[in-house]
Amino acid sequence: MSGFRSLSSGLRALQPAAFGADPSGERLARIRRSPHFKDGVFQNPGGTARTRPSGSALDFAKVFFDKDERPQRAPKGTVPVHPTTLADIAKPPATGLRLTWMGHSSVLAEIDGQRVLFDPVWGERCSPFSFVGPKRLHPVPLPLAALGPVDVVVISHDHYDHLDLPSIKALADTDTLFAVPLGVGAHLEHWGVSVDRIRELDWHEATKVGGLTLTATPARHFCGRGLRNTQHTLWASWSVAGGEHRIFHSGDTGYFEGFKDIGAEHGPFDATMIQIGAYSDFWPDIHMTPQEGMRAHLDLQGGEPHGVMMPIHWATFNLATHPWAEPGEGTLAAARATGSRVALPRPGEPFEPTAETVPSEPWWRAVAQAPAGGWPAADALTEAAIKTSAAGAPAGADGAEQGESAEGTGEPETVSAG
C-alpha cells in the first residue's frame, strides 16, 4: 500500500498549481451541511443539468471542426479595445455607478463609493497550462495593477475562464477582500490568499463590504478544475446592493425560473451583467442564449424593461461553436424585440448605466465575418427579432439570418435613458 501512496503523492506533485486545491477540514464539513449539497455533490436549481456535451463525440467534432464554419468563430480583424487608463476610472462616477467590461465576464463595477471586480481573468489562456487552451482574442484593456485599489473581488465559480491563477496571484498581495461561493476559498488559500480576506458564501448568504451587501444567489451550472472533479465547490450569481444602486452578475448559468425569485428579493437592478455567450445545443442547461439572457434580465426586473442589461461571457475566448459575433447580434435583437435597454461597450470602455446614454454601437461588425446577406438594418433586425421572440427560438443567429437581406449601416447609435 505504501507504494500506491507514494505514487499518488508523486502524481499530486506533478499537478499544476492552477488545479488549485480540494476543500478539506471545516470547509468541507460546512459544504456537507449545505442544503444544496446532496449525494456527494452540489445540486442545481430546477433539477439535474447536463454538464457535458449531449450526443456523440463524433457529432460534436463534426460541428467543431467544420472548415466552413470554423473561421466565423473568431474575429477577422483586430478587436477594437478601448484604450482605458487609470485616469478614466480614477474620477468617481457622476451618477455613483460605473461599469467597465474588461472582456469575457470580467467587470470592474464602481458602485456607491466602492470598487468591485467580478471574475478577473487577465491571463493569456483560460487553461491550467500556458501553452495550450483557449487563447485571448483581444488583449486586456489595461494591466491589472493599473486598476487601482479594489475593495472586493467577486468570483462566480472555479472554471478557468472565471477563476484565473495569474490574476489571483497578482491580487493576493493587495488588501482586497474576496467574496466566493462555498469551497472556492480552498483554491485561493492554496494560491496565497490569507483566510481572513476570504468571504465564502452559500446561496442566499450575504456579506458586507463597506456600504455594500453582496449576496450569493443561485445559478444553474457546475464546477471543477483538476483531473478529478469532486463537485465540492459551488457556483453562484451575485447581487450587489449599495445605498443608492443595485447590480447583478450572472456568472455562468442556464436559464431557470429562479431569476424571478432573485429579482423579487434583491431587485430591481440598475444594471445586470448577463452571460449570453458559449451556448450550444450540445449543453443547453448550463449556458444561456442571448434570448434566454434577455428573458433572465426581464425576470430579474420583475417582468418589465428596467435598468440596463450588459452582455458578458463573449468576444474574448472561443469556447463554443457559434459565430464570434452572434452573441452581440442576438443581444441587440432581443433588446429591440422586448424594448429593453442594452449596453454594448467595447472591452475596456467605462460607462454609467443610469446616465442619459450608454454605448450601443454594434462595434463587432467592423471586425467580424459578415453573414451571407450582410448585417441586418435596424428595422429588419427588429422585425426578425420580434418574429424570433414570438416563436420562442433563440434570438442569436436566427435574428440575424432572418433579416440578412438588408445591409446595415454600422453607424454609431446612441440610446437614451428613456
Residues 101-130: tens digit of each pLDDT: 999 999 999 999 999 999 999 999 999 998
Per-residue pLDDT at 84: 86
pLDDT, mean over the chain: 86
pLDDT band at residue 54 under the 50/70/90 scheme: low
Per-residue pLDDT at 229: 59
Per-residue pLDDT at 226: 73
Residue 374 clears pLDDT 50, i.e. is over it: yes
CB atoms closer than 10 angstroms to residue 171? 24
pLDDT band at residue 376 under the 50/70/90 scheme: confident
Q: How far apart are CA 46 and CA 44, in angstroms?
A: 6
Residues 137-165: tens digit of each pLDDT: 999 999 999 999 999 999 999 999 999 99
Q: How far apart are CA 396 and CA 394, in angstroms?
A: 5
Per-residue pLDDT at 3: 46
Per-residue pLDDT at 410: 33
Residues 69-109: tens digit of each pLDDT: 777 889 999 999 998 888 888 899 999 999 999 999 999 99
Per-residue pLDDT at 55: 63
Transcribe 65-78 into DSSP letters: T-TTTGGGGS-SS-
Q: Is 22 buried (19+), middle (13-18) or exposed (0-12) by CB count in 10 A?
A: middle
Per-residue pLDDT at 228: 61
Range 56-65 average pLDDT: 67
Residues whose CB is less than 8 angstroms from the CB of residue 110 and which lie 6 or more positions away in sequence, other chains included? 89, 92, 93, 97, 98, 99, 100, 116
Angle at CA 319, nearest 5°, toward 314 and 323?
65
Residues 339-359: tens digit of each pLDDT: 999 999 999 999 999 999 999
Helix axis angle for 378-391 and 326-338, nearest 10°, is: 80
Per-residue pLDDT at 70: 75
Residues whose CB is less than 8 angstroms from the CB of residue 250 and which lie 6 or more positions away in sequence, other chains included? 156, 219, 237, 272, 273, 274, 275, 288, 293, 296, 312
Range 240-268 average pLDDT: 98
CB atoms closer than 10 angstroms to residue 147? 20
Q: How far apart are CA 240 and CA 394, in angstroms?
A: 29
Which residue matches cell numbers 450540445? 282
Share of the chain above pLDDT 90, in %: 71
Per-residue pLDDT at 86: 84
Residue 178 clears pLDDT 70, i.e. is over it: yes
pLDDT band at residue 409 under the 50/70/90 scheme: very low
**Range in 5-14, 67-76, 361-370 the model is least confident about:** 5-14
| Three-state SS at 351 | strand
More confidently predicted of 405 and 81: 81
Per-residue pLDDT at 50: 79
More confidently predicted of 44 and 229: 44
Q: How far apart are CA 156 and CA 253, in angstroms?
A: 10
- To the nearest 10°, report the CA torsion of 249, 253, 255, 256: -90
Per-residue pLDDT at 387: 40
Residue 259 clears pLDDT 90, i.e. is over it: yes
Residues 282-318: tens digit of each pLDDT: 899 999 999 999 999 999 999 988 999 999 999 999 9
Of 225, 185, 319, 335, the C-alpha closest to 274 is: 335
Per-residue pLDDT at 87: 84
pLDDT band at residue 48 under the 50/70/90 scheme: confident
Residue 397 clears pLDDT 50, i.e. is over it: no
